[in-house]
Structure 1
Amino acid sequence: MTLDVVSPLSPALTLRHAAFAERRRQLEQQLDDPSRRWWHEALEQLARQPSADTLVLLSSQCKRRLGQPAPLTGPDTERIQLARALLLAQLLEHQAGSDQLALLRQLFLWGDDQEKSVLLKVLDDLDSQGRSLDLALQAGRTNNREVFAAIALDNPFPARHYPDRAFHQLVLKTLGMGLDTGRIVGLAQRRSVDLNQLALEHMEEQLAAFRSVSDALPQAIAFELLSQAQCQRLRGLCQQRRLPAHWLEHLPPGA
């Protein structure tokens, strides 16, 4: 006799409903009458047919229905991003009794770069408990600058849910891609001796390859936690003009 094995559902995601209510208010303020009619029809269609297929269809229509003729401007892009984020949230709410995490993974897999980016930017509000950590880590392995920036910059999810090693790798990849580490949420609270070592190793690699060191690199370093030898090394590099003089301002007095 054989028994059917039913895989257990992942725990339900916890959405931040107030955050999406505010996004909806922002979007409604930006819509003219034709766009507003289409938007309300889209929400009704998704409510009637709450599936990944419906969402993908509506998401693809957002650019044409909510944007102006190309090229898209800043306000157009904002409207499209808000609409796609709200569609994601509504579908997840309708799927509360199913495996929402599997659905989220499916939507990420199916999405184009812009749709992936929207999902990642609002991931912390879609999943306030961090159950989608594996999805976020997978997204962070991309070499696509836009998609990586969506999880790395101005996003509270890594600060709240990444273990130290993953967070450190995020910082290093941000530096490697030439992005602004100052936009990594929670970086100041995550600075440590270990991150110092990784950041200085990155600096040495750049110098050895005769590349300029990122101006954002000091933001990743807890200068007060540097060893005496590390401080002396940085001071020497500044004196040799291999590092900008402003690095000296970060060093503790007497170091």
Structure 2
Amino acid sequence: MNTNMDVIPRQAALVELNQALDRLLDATELHWWRQALERLAQSPDATTAAMLSSHCKRHLRARSVVGAEGWSCVELARALLLVEVVGLQAPKTRLALLEQLFQWGDDLEKIALLKVLDHLDSDGSCLDLALLAGRTSNPHVFAALALDTPYPARHYPDRAFHQLVLKALGMGLDAARVIGLAQRQSVPLNQLALDLMDEQLAAGRPVASSLPQLIAFDLLSPAQLRRLTGLYQQQRLPAHWREHLAGT
């Protein structure tokens, strides 16, 4: 469980996201946004939140948000609506609300929820929801869960975290963007990474570019290290493996 020390930086980050959105919106958009927040405050329920989320794409122009890297305008507005409605709930009802909104949402709304999940859940109450979301076959939805967010590193048990990383690689995503990966490196993850490498080589596919990010090279057995070195010398591994093997 996380301590209250986590809360301050998360609150500061939310303030920055709200400010970034406010700076981006023109007068017409800002007027609608203020009205949306007022309406949500008056009726802080899943139905109102879902309706306002669907209206975002009609009232806000799609563009990137300066000062909020990785967010689009509509996506950020949807995420901040979630933050607002969750903050208006009694703690015991928050999980049920998020589960309902996730079930109702389309893929773009699911992405917004997953990208802001770490701000909404400091103690891991939404772990089952995150694990359910991780079953998606949509790489964009999965990326929102797996990349550039500390939620899995904070709350996933090792086995689930390992599966998340391997699925990210299988979808062609950059494992280097999985936050907390270095702290989860281990002998079991080494073996899973090597098994995946073997599968890719046997199928004649290129080895995933970010696969070395999964491996704790100082924990490799001598036999594993010799095999990797041999594969590199045979030019069966990408050139950037050299930097990982040179210091072992």
TM-score (normalizing by structure 1): 0.88
Aligned positions of 1:69-148 closer than 5 A: 72-75=62-65, 78-96=72-90, 98-148=92-142
Structure with the larger RCO, 1 or 2 (CA within 8 Å, 6+ apart): 1
CA deviations on 1:147-200 (whole Å, 9 max, x unpaired) are 100000001000111110011001100110010001000111111111000000
Larger Rg, first or second structure (1 or 2): 1
Unaligned residue ranges in structure 2 (runs of 5+): 1-5
Counterparts of 2:28 and 2:85, CA distance in 1: 23
Separation in 2, partners of 1:97, 1:202: 41
Q: Which stretches in structure 1 are left out of the alignment for 5+ residues?
A: 1-13
Amino acid at match of 1:187: L
**In 1, Cα distance between the equivalents of 2:173 and 2:73?**
25
Letter in 1 for 2:163: Q
Partners of 1:250 and 1:177 lie apart in 2 by 23
Q: How far apart, in 2, do the equivalents of 1:189 and 1:241 lie?
A: 30
Contact 2:127 2:156 in 1 (8 A): yes
RMSD, matched Cα: 1.8
Whether the 8 Å contact between 1:224 and 1:251 is mirrored in structure 2 is no
CA contact (8 A) 2:127 2:155 kept: yes
User: Displaced runs of 4+ in structure 1, greater than 4 A?
Assistant: none
2:198 aligned residue: 204
**Percent of pairs identical after alignment?**
61
**Pick aligned residue for 1:218 from 212, 222, 231:** 212
Contact 1:84 1:115 in 2 (8 A): yes
**What is the TM-score when the length of structure 2 is the normalising length?**
0.90
1:74 aligned partner, one-letter code: S
Superposition deviation, residue 98 in structure 1: 4.8
Q: Quote the offset at 1:224 in angstroms.
A: 0.9
Matched, 1:47 2:41: yes
Q: Would you say how many aligned residue pairs link Structure 1 and Structure 2?
A: 237
- Structure 1 CA distance for aligned equivalents of residues 45 and 109 of structure 2: 16
Contact kept in structure 2, 1:140 and 1:151, CA below 8 Å: yes
1:231-246 to structure 2, matched below 5 A, reads 231-246=225-240
